[in-house]
Structure 1
Amino acid sequence: MTDYIARRSLDQYVFLPRLFQGFPEIKEALISNRVQAGFLVAPLAVALRSQGVPIKIVFLGHRYGSAAVVKKGGPVKTVADLKGKTVAIPSRFSDERLLLLRALEQHGVRAADVRIVEMPPADVAAALASNAIDGFVMGEPFPSQAEMGGYGHVLFHAREYWPDYLSCVLVVREDVIQRRPEAVQVLVDGIARSGLWLDSGQSEREYAAEFVGRYYYNQPPSLLKWALTRPLDRVRFNPLIPRRDDFELVTRLMLENKLIDKPIAFEEYVDSRFAEGAAYETAWDYPVGAGRLDPEKADD
Structure 2
Amino acid sequence: MSFAKTILLAAVVVLTSISALHWLLNVRTDRSTSAGFRVGFLPVTCHLTCPVTDFINKQLTGTSTFDPIRFHGWPELKEAYLSGYTPATFILAPMAIALREQGVPIKIVYLGHREGGDVMVHKDSQIFRTQDLRGKTVAVPGRYANHRLILFRELKKVGLKLEDVNIVEMAPPDMPAALYSRSVDAITSGEPFMGQTELDGYGRALYRVKEVWPGFISCVLAVREDVIQNRRAEVQQLVDGIAKSGKWLDQGMDNRLAAAQFVSTQYYNQNPRLLTYVLSQPPDRVIYSQLKPTRPNFEEIEQLGKESGILQGTAHFEDYIDDSFAPADDEVQAHAYTAPQP
- Same fold, TM-score > 0.5, yes or no: yes
Write the distance in 2 (CA, Å) between the matches of 1:280 and 1:272: 15
Are the structure 2 counterparts of residues 115 and 155 from structure 1 closer, same or farther at C-alpha, using a change threshold of 3 Å? same
The aligned runs of 1:42-121 (5 Å cut-off) are: 42-121=93-172
Write the distance in 2 (CA, Å) between the matches of 1:228 and 1:246: 24
Write the distance in 1 (CA, Å) between the matches of 2:165 and 2:306: 20
Cα pair 1:65 1:235 within 8 Å, conserved: yes
Write the distance in 2 (CA, Å) between the matches of 1:286 and 1:13: 15
Equivalent position of 2:305 in the other structure = 254
Pick one of 178, 184, 191 that aligns with 2:235: 184
- Counterpart code for 2:287: R
Of the structure 1 ranges 62-71 and 107-116, higher mean CA displacement relative to structure 2 is found in 107-116
Write the distance in 1 (CA, Å) between the matches of 2:296 and 2:267: 34
Cα pair 1:3 1:15 within 8 Å, conserved: no
Equivalent position of 1:280 in the other structure = 331
- Counterpart code for 1:138: S
Pick one of 273, 293, 296 that aligns with 1:242: 293
Equivalent position of 1:265 in the other structure = 316
Cα pair 2:302 2:316 within 8 Å, conserved: no
Deviations 1:7-63 (A, max 9, x none): 657xx8611110011121111111111111010010001111111111100001111
Deviations 1:202-256 (A, max 9, x none): 1111110011001110111100011111101100001110010000000111111
Write the distance in 2 (CA, Å) between the matches of 1:279 and 1:177: 24
Write the distance in 1 (CA, Å) between the matches of 2:328 and 2:235: 11
Write the distance in 1 (CA, Å) between the matches of 2:140 and 2:56: 33
Q: Mind listing any 5+ residue stretches in structure 1 that lack a counterpart?
A: 294-300
Write the distance in 1 (CA, Å) between the matches of 2:239 and 2:57: 10
Equivalent position of 2:33 in the other structure = none
- Counterpart code for 2:57: I
Cα displacement (A) at 1:97: 0.1
Task: Please state if 1:130 is matched with 2:197.
Answer: no
Deviations 1:78-116 (A, max 9, x none): 212111211110101000000111111112323222111
Equivalent position of 2:274 in the other structure = 223
Share of identical aligned residues, percent? 46
Q: Structure 1 length as normaliser, TM-score?
A: 0.92
Equivalent position of 1:298 in the other structure = none
Length, aligned pairs only: 290
Cα displacement (A) at 1:277: 6.5
Equivalent position of 2:54 in the other structure = 2
Q: Structure 2 length as normaliser, TM-score?
A: 0.81
- Counterpart code for 1:191: I
Write the distance in 1 (CA, Å) between the matches of 2:183 and 2:293: 37
Q: Mind listing any 5+ residue stretches in structure 2 that lack a counterpart?
A: 1-52
- Counterpart code for 1:95: N
Cα pair 1:79 1:104 within 8 Å, conserved: yes
Instruction: Point out the structure with the larger helix share.
Output: 2
Cα pair 1:189 1:278 within 8 Å, conserved: no
Write the distance in 2 (CA, Å) between the matches of 1:179 and 1:194: 25
Write the distance in 2 (CA, Å) between the matches of 1:202 and 1:39: 24
Could you list the runs of 4 or more consecutive aligned residues of structure 1 that deviate by over 4 angstroms after TM superposition?
6-9
Cα displacement (A) at 1:279: 5.7
Over the aligned positions, Cα root-mean-square deviation in angstroms equals 1.8
